[in-house]
Amino acid sequence: MGKSAVDMALAAYGLAWKAALPLLKYNSRLKEGWSQRTLSEGEPAPADLWIQAASGGEAYLAWEVLKHLESPWSRSLRVLTTTNTLQGFQTLLRAAEEINGRKNGLAVQPWYFPFDEPNLMRRMAARVRPRLAVILETEIWPGFLHACKRQGVPVLLANGRMSTKSLGGYLAWPGLFRALAPDRIMAVSETDGRRFGTLFGRDRVWIMPNIKFDRMGDASPMPRASNPLRDLIPARAPFVVFGSVRKEEEHDAILLAKGLMSKRSGTVLGLFPRHMHHMDLWRKGVEGAGLNWTLRSRLTGPAAPGTVVLWDSFGELVPAYGLATAAFVGGSLAPLGGQNFLEPLTSGVTPVTGPHWKNFAWVGRDILASGLAVEAKDWREALESLIKIIDGPPARKDVAEAAKQYIRDRRGGAEAVSKQVADFLK
């Protein structure tokens, strides 16, 4: 795509933003940080490095990268970190407090990512004047990329992921995105790398370890004596956790629960809905299946064997995994992308998941081949797998140690990105 065609495309893009901005004022999620998103009440300080992290998850990745950065000069390395969401901004504030408190040659300033209206982005880039911009995961904003090109700022896309659906959307205008391509792309898998290569050119793409492995500490199983839920779960009854189950898979999850309680009637089943406001849906489901149930908030002592405990208290899923004999991880019996099955694994429990876990594909299918996790094609297979684990649970410490080794072998992403940043800055 020639220069004039790119300019025309960006002009049309800018007009769309101008039409949208007055309406965005009424979006409750965008009110927070509005003045920074629009640069209406000031601008950030100039920086050597600009790191864009879309939301909370990417902000944690940015935090990991910051831990590995060093200034290549005698003065401090000035870093601007930006995000699109309140959760991301709060995470970046905590990261800045930690990194700045270390006084190790970094000065970090959090800011909301401006709206991608081309004029706003040109103003932002001209003000910040970074030597390098880093995008984490898949933040392909035309206004931002064009502003960096005009300012002569190289762009590194790190920890890159791209779905087939996203690639199809970008390929609707391939010339524009090829013209605005990042200078270097570090993808987290060969599959993601091929997709980025299709859009931007294979010569720009490298493969790196996923920074998400760096974020995972060497978790160990929580001893029962120190587990805050120890008085609620009888020590001699099998305890099975259904973690983060979703509304859309309620039918299959209830069938799974009914089958489990029928085949192993002395089990205590802890059912943790992903969204607490759907608790009434799950109550009706277990009642309709004829299952004995209670709310976690009603427990004053050990749950009776043969009971489904509807967990209506926040923040107790990980301690529950610490007591579980077996675990099914939800969001996976319907095409929802799955939930975090590494949590039970690092607690020493072999997780069973349904076939839909694309949001955690970065973990790699090696985790199935190694036997650290089990994938079931439907609720019936999930039931068979849970029964097998209940009847012969592997030693918790052995599962946790194997999980730790799997994670250790895949770390190094944040360090790889920091080395690339150093090369650009030098």
pTM beyond 0.75, yes or no: yes
Q: List Cβ neighbours of 24 (8 Å cut-off, separation of 6 or more).
A: 30, 115
pLDDT digits (tens, 9 = 90+) for 268-320: 999 999 999 999 999 999 999 999 999 999 999 999 999 999 999 999 999 99
Residue 300 class from Cβ within 10 Å (0-12 exposed, 13-18 middle, 19+ buried)? exposed
Sign of the four-CA dihedral 34, 40, 41, 44 = positive
Distance (Å, rounded) from C-alpha 414 to C-alpha 210? 8
Nearest to 131 by CA among 46, 48, 45: 48
Looking at the DSSP bridge assignments, the partners of residue 241 are 270, 327
pLDDT higher than 90, residue 399: yes
How sure is the predictor about 1, in pLDDT bands with cuts at 50, 70 and 90? low
Distance (Å, rounded) from C-alpha 216 to C-alpha 325? 23
How sure is the predictor about 219, in pLDDT bands with cuts at 50, 70 and 90? confident
Query: Which amino acid belongs to residue 20?
Result: A
What is the DSSP-derived secondary structure letter of residue 162? -
Distance (Å, rounded) from C-alpha 349 to C-alpha 320? 11
